Structures are given as structure tokens and as C-alpha cells.
Structure 1
Amino acid sequence: MSRLQKRDLSLSVEAGELVSFQQAGHEFIHQKGNPGWRNSDTEMFPIIGPTNEAGFQVQVPRGSALLDQHGHLREMDYELSQQVEDTLVYRKAYQAGTPIKNSKYPEKSKRQWLVWPYSFVFEKRFRLAEDHLEITFVIDAEKDMPFMLGYHPAFLLTTDKSQVLAGDRSISLEEVLAAGSRALEVPEISEIVLRDTRDLKITSKGFGHFMLWTEVENMICVEPISFYPYAVNQASLHEGFQYSQGVQEFQVCLFPV
């Protein structure tokens, strides 16, 4: 477990996963073991969305890739590559064509091994600033590698009056619950406020959109995404790809309000 502290802000990261972010003792992050989800955050890369109805195949310029829901990055382990006073840097590296074991097999998936035909290095950087937390994703990939990126953090809810403010739109927890497993799309926006006992402003750079998901009333996932996967059928998921220009950065910031 790695920890950072600055003034009244603190965070804890376990194997690259943000398991705590607090201000003056108030916890913003969903705690593993509580109802809702077994994780507290993860990444969706190099795709977002399910693939089972397409035979777990995603069309890419090099043929087809074998991927399960939300890609194979989450099946790989982070290594801590740097820790300084206010920053933690975690890293994953993938060599094109390397089979990655699917943890969902056989209980929740028919695909035992996942394979992607491109090499990349993926960094996740946490920096604790004076009044907020910066989470930066750095993707160093082969030129023209197709990819989508989504960040999937889960936030703790402590009141039954929680809501999400997105521009002029106010979204109730009931609306998010009603969207079910598809998640609720919040398109073309880079800032959201999660209103709860303590408000949290969530900003993003490079993503372009958000989606919201939960199946319980004590937690909500506010997810910056580069593409909303349910805009197309699974066989057309490749329509949501962007293409690597080499090294690209995406950023999410959490501001306690």
C-alpha cells in the first residue's frame, strides 16, 4: 500500500488501484467489500464495452483482436515505477500478441485467453496537489494503434439525496439505476459535480464524454470515456476507436468542493 498526504488531503493506492481519497477524514472512494462492486477503480483499455455477442472479437487494422469486456489492461498487474513526495507512478507494458489469461473464465466468460496485436506501455500517475488529486494516464503505443480509453472510479454515497450535475442537467440516482448495465451516457462534457454529503467535482481532459453506472444506492461510478460503447452494436465496436500518435496523455482531477 502506498500513501500520499498533503495538508488535509490524503490518498491510498494498492497495486495501482485508488482505494482511498480523503479530505479531513471524509472518504470519497467506494470501499471494496461494500455492496455494489468488488473494486474501487480500474481502466477500460484498449476497448470499452462488451464483446460476447461478437464472439469476443474486435476488428482492428491487423485483423481481429480477442478481447473480453473493457479490454485486457485490467488483467495485467501494475508495477510501482516511481514514488516521490507528492506523486506515485504505476506502469504496465504489453508486447503484441502475448496471451493474457482472462480472470472471468470459465464462470463469466467463454474466452480463456485475450490477445491484442499491438505493443504499448500504459502509465497511471497520481499527483496530490494543494486542493485536488490529479490522475494522469500516459499511453505510449505503436503509431496508429487503435484504442479507446475509459477510467472507471467508484465513489461512496452517504445520503439518499445524491445527484450528478452535468452542465444544465441534474441526474438523479434513480436515473442511473434505471440505465442498468448499459450505463447512462453523458455526452460531450468534461466536468461533472457529484452532489452528496460532501460534493466532489470531477474534471477530465482528452476523454470527451462520461457515463454513469451503479446497481446500488451506496455507490456510483462516474466514468470519463473516449467513446460510449452502446452507441453501436458489438460487431461495430471498432467504430469508436481513435488512433495512437505515439505518446498521448489523458487526465482526471478530483476536487473536493
Structure 2
Amino acid sequence: MFALENEHLKLVCTPKGAQMQSLVNKANGQEILYQGDQGWKDQNPSLFPVIGSTWSGSYTIDGQEYAMKNHGLARYAVMEGSRDGNVLAFSFSDDEKTRAQYPFSFRFTIEYRLEGREVKIGYRIENTGDEEMPFTLGLHPAFATDPFENCELKFEPAGQAVMFHTFEDGRPVEYESVQLDTLQLDRELIRRERTLIWKEFRADQVTLSQDGRAVVTVKFPGFPYLAVWTHPQDSEFVCIEPWYGHADLEKLDVPFERREGTMMLKPGDTWTTGYSIEVK
């Protein structure tokens, strides 16, 4: 395990998926993160190089068929970890096992650092191969709720957004213009939609409140998609998920690299992004 601590926060991370295992508000001893002990056994995986999966579960590159587990490779990787002062860094690179699922050369790095009451999380993706690399990235942090029904999400700045409505039978996605402002957590709504997903929104941060008290704010400037999810089995957590792409939400027959939200990284190039979690 790897840990960082300052006067406000204590953060513990594990090399498995480079996930945060614990984030404690030292002012009151509150654990901010869901502990992976109920319906969902994860906590905050990074989704790379795919979010979810293709509709069929497989895809073709240069005439050869490949398949990855749900959400790609990073969440399953045991990464090399290190600490340098106030920074925890975790990374992994392609190998024979990853290339059998995703035929590209890469190096993937996550860095964590504490600044006051915030955890700053940075991502760096390098194309170490000699051909363009299609990829996307998503975040999946899960925050503790107790009880779920007494929590709400506030989107800032508020404004119009486009909400996805998806169907298990693969019918085309339907889109609805909605006002994205404050959302009272509702298990039945999330079960009905499976996942709440928006695009074309103004918000670049979401605050989770419990019984009217702000607990944590997730800040994600630049991410074009946002999702909210909890497990269908009653569980005390909510995931606030900024994404650059998304899973196939309807039956599609398009090349892997042309799926919505897929980005192309040239040989030798590096792509970076990040987000932060502010504990109130």
C-alpha cells in the first residue's frame, strides 16, 4: 500500500488498478470512499483504453479480432508504484498479455498528490509504438452514502444538457434536453436508466451532499461526458464518472477507432488529463 497525508486528509492507494482505497477527512474521521464491500467489489477504477465495451464484446484491428474485459486494461493491472515527496505515481506498460487484447504499445501513468483539502489526480498516456493508437479514458470514483436517499448532487455551473436514454435490446439511443442543476439520488431512476449519462453540459464540477451538508466536490474540466451510477443491488455508494467516451450504448457496426469518444494518439506522442476531489 502507498499513502499520503497532510493536516486535512489521509489517502491510501493500492497498486491493483492504482485505485484509491481510503480517503479520510481528518477533521471528523469520515471515510469518503465506498469500501467495495457491498454490491460492487471495486472502488474507483480507471477506464482505459475503452469505457465499458463494444456492443458485441469484441472488435477488429487490421483484420484480427480482439476482446478486452469490461472497461479495458488499467483496472486489472497491478501497477508499479512509487512515492516522491507528496506524489504517488503508478504506471504500467503493454506486454504480451495486453497485446493479445489490445495490439498497441503504451505506457499508462496515474499520479496522486494532496493540496490542502484536495486530491489532485493526473493521467499520462504515452504511445510507445510505431502506429496510431485508438483509446479513450473514463473515471469511476465511488463515494460513500449513508443513507443513499438522503444524498443529492449539485452540478455547477447549472445549465442545459443532453441526457441519454438507452435500451438493453440495442435500440438506438434517445436523447433528451434537460436542465442539469440538482439531482436527489433515486435508486429507481438509476435502475430504470441503468446509468445516468449526459453530454453537452456546462458543469465542470459536482458536489455530493448528505443531509444538506456538502461532503465532497469532484472537479473535471474538459470532460465531454458525465455519468452517475450505483449498483442495482441496494448499496451505499454513488459513482460520479467523467468520461472522454462511452461504451456502445446501441447496436453498432463501426470500426473500433470510429466509436464515439475514441481518440487517436500518434507514435511517440503523450496525452494528459486530470481531475480533483475536494473534501469539504
TM range, smaller chain:
0.7 to 0.9
Aligned with residue 41 of structure 2, among 38, 43, 50: 38
Counterpart for residue 155 of structure 2: 166
Report if the CA contact (8 A) 1:162-1:194 is conserved.
yes
Report if the CA contact (8 A) 1:17-1:40 is conserved.
yes
TM-aligned CA distance change 1:58 to 1:207, over 3 Å? farther
Cα deviation digits, residues 31-64 of structure 1 (max 9, x gap) = 122x13111111111111233x42x322446754
Distance 2:132 2:142 in 1: 31
Counterpart for residue 168 of structure 2: none
Residue 225 of structure 1 aligns with an amino acid whose one-letter code is W
Cα deviation digits, residues 158-201 of structure 1 (max 9, x gap) = 23311122243222321334322xx1103244321122254211
Aligned-pair CA distance for 1:255:
0.8
Is 1:178 aligned with 2:176? Answer: no
Counterpart for residue 105 of structure 1: none
Residue 208 of structure 2 aligns with an amino acid whose one-letter code is L
Q: Identity of aligned pairs, percent?
A: 20
Counterpart for residue 192 of structure 1: 206
Counterpart for residue 175 of structure 2: none
Aligned-pair CA distance for 1:22:
1.6
TM-aligned CA distance change 1:123 to 1:12, over 3 Å? same
Counterpart for residue 20 of structure 2: 18
Is 1:125 aligned with 2:141? Answer: no
TM-aligned CA distance change 1:185 to 1:62, over 3 Å? same
Normalised by the size of structure 1, how large is the TM-score? 0.83
Rg larger in structure: 2
Is 1:207 aligned with 2:230? Answer: no
Aligned-pair CA distance for 1:144:
2.6
Report if the CA contact (8 A) 2:151-2:184 is conserved.
yes
Aligned-pair CA distance for 1:130:
1.4
Report if the CA contact (8 A) 2:53-2:248 is conserved.
no
Report if the CA contact (8 A) 2:53-2:70 is conserved.
yes
Distance 1:49 1:43 in 2: 11
Give 3-state SS (helix, strand or coil) of 1:99's partner.
helix
Aligned-pair CA distance for 1:10:
1.1
Distance 1:48 1:60 in 2: 17
User: 86-95 vs 71-80, which deviates more?
Assistant: 71-80
Give 3-state SS (helix, strand or coil) of 1:22's partner.
strand
Cα deviation digits, residues 225-249 of structure 1 (max 9, x gap) = 0013245435446422111141111
Report if the CA contact (8 A) 1:43-1:73 is conserved.
yes
Aligned-pair CA distance for 1:7:
0.9
Report if the CA contact (8 A) 1:185-1:228 is conserved.
no
Distance 2:141 2:88 in 1: 17
Counterpart for residue 165 of structure 2: none
Q: How many residues align?
A: 237
Is 1:27 aligned with 2:31? Answer: yes
Q: Where in structure 1 are there 5+ consecutive unaligned residues?
A: 101-112
Counterpart for residue 240 of structure 2: 222
Distance 1:218 1:191 in 2: 22
Report if the CA contact (8 A) 2:216-2:279 is conserved.
yes
Q: Where in structure 2 are there 5+ consecutive unaligned residues?
A: 159-180
Distance 1:114 1:173 in 2: 40
Distance 2:207 2:111 in 1: 22
Is 1:146 aligned with 2:166? Answer: no
Counterpart for residue 254 of structure 1: 277
Normalised by the size of structure 2, how large is the TM-score? 0.77
Distance 2:109 2:221 in 1: 16
